[in-house]
Amino acid sequence: MKHFQIVKEVIDDWDPKQFLHYTPDDEYDPEIRLIVELLPTATSVEKLAVVIHEVFVKMFSIDEVYSINNCYPSALKIWDKINNS
């Protein structure tokens, strides 16, 4: 549950599709659950950025907003919060 809250805080703050202005607060929860499930496979910030990228491409079928470069800042925040808590 702790990891879910960390990932949710970072992804909701990022709000990559600008959905949270007009959708429920749980809009990204399916993506967040997938990211949390895949956290054990992310052995570095770079790999976590790939995980985030792949989850959003899978769930939204586009990769413009979710390029790995755009995912890296959120991956870094998640990585730091999980590993420094």
Domains of the chain: 2-83 (1.10.340.20)
Asked if pLDDT for residue 24 goes beyond 80, the answer is: yes
pLDDT at 78: 98
Environment class of residue 30 by beta-carbon count within 10 Å: exposed (0-12), middle (13-18) or buried (19+)? exposed
- Answer yes or no: are the C-beta atoms of 57 and 65 closer than 8 Å: no
User: Stretch 37-44: mean pLDDT, rounded?
Assistant: 97
Mean pLDDT, the chain, rounded, equals 90
